[in-house]
Structure 1
Amino acid sequence: MKIAVVCLGNICRSPMAEVVLRDRLDGSGLDDVELVSAGTGGWHAGDAMDRRAAATLREAGYDPDHHRAKQWPVGDPATYDLVLAMDADNLADLTGLAPEGRLRMFRDFDPEGPGDVPDPYYGGDEGFREVLAMVERTSDGIVTSVAASRPGS
């Protein structure tokens, strides 16, 4: 299975989601799932994660240090089983650029309900902590869905 998580610049929300979701997938024995994050815009391509996003992840026990921003598409879009947009604007930007029927909102898997993952870039530290909480609980929902879709589940 191949999953992409996509936001605007690929320095805050989608890389946070990639780090947390990778941790959850690996912890559930689903370490064969290929996972990438990307941005619909390319102005941060090659940059590290936003320092506040990285600090929030580090404080929660995750390793954010290997991320480098990428622009969507990463490779052949047709090869993705699931493309997860972080907000409605990202979803609109991805329409026609992601495999038909495989584009969803990230929070479609949130047990607290669907919606946007707010962009914390222009706010303070609390916004990054709020995004992390959304990403953690939603990642658990994604892992449950991926595990249930496996043959023999």
Structure 2
Amino acid sequence: MTHRILFVCLGNICRSPSAEGVLRAKAARAGVDLTIDSAGTGDWHIGKPPYGPMQAAARARGYDLSGLRARQVAVRDFDAFDLILAMDSENLRDLEAMRPPEARARLRLFTDYTDTGADHVPDPYFTRDFDGALTLIEETAEGLLRQL
């Protein structure tokens, strides 16, 4: 059973912190004990909170992302987590390129856990569809919990 999950997107200010907040809330309600974190492949936003419009959309659905801070994926994450979930195929390729050969973490796309037909979580920083991204994240988090 997977107990430690890391969500990864590009800058760690929209998709991955939202997935962290959503799964944390859903797991708590379901009584499932998980260690959950998020990170980005890029270093542009290290130390910054999630993007304001993403926080607002999450807050409207009952998720508080305000305490989260962006960080960059580190090599140690490949041993600290059981499962590292990328928001899109580019993030997955970046993770595969930096993964040490002996690392224990499994790498997958987050959307592997949804039956919506989505093959990635679109980046609302660019699409401006914060609610659409959250809907997909919520549905996929539920699928992930069912498989755990």
Say whether the fold is shared (TM-score over 0.5). Answer: yes
Equivalent in the alignment of 2:122: 118
Distance 1:74 1:12, change over 3 A: farther
* TM-score where L is the length of structure 2: 0.90
**Conserved in 2, the CA contact under 8 Å of 1:87 and 1:105?**
yes
Equivalent in the alignment of 1:104: 108
Distance 1:81 1:101, change over 3 A: closer
Letter in 1 for 2:12: N
Distance 1:100 1:75, change over 3 A: closer
**Conserved in 2, the CA contact under 8 Å of 1:10 and 1:37?**
yes
CA offset digits 1:99-127 (Å, max 9, x no partner): 46710000000121340101111233xx1
Aligned residues: 143
Equivalent in the alignment of 1:150: none
- How far apart, CA to CA, are the structure 1 residues paired with 2:93 and 2:39? 15
Distance 1:22 1:74, change over 3 A: farther
- How far apart, CA to CA, are the structure 2 residues paired with 1:74 and 1:16? 22
Equivalent in the alignment of 1:28: 30
SS in 2 for 1:115: coil
- How far apart, CA to CA, are the structure 2 residues paired with 1:141 and 1:23? 14
Equivalent in the alignment of 1:2: 4
Equivalent in the alignment of 1:145: 147
Q: Percent identity?
A: 43
Unaligned runs of 5+ in 2: none
CA offset digits 1:26-49 (Å, max 9, x no partner): 111113x11100000011000010
Letter in 1 for 2:117: G
Alignment of 1:38-53 (within 5 A): 38-53=39-54
Equivalent in the alignment of 2:66: 65
- How far apart, CA to CA, are the structure 1 residues paired with 2:65 and 2:121? 19
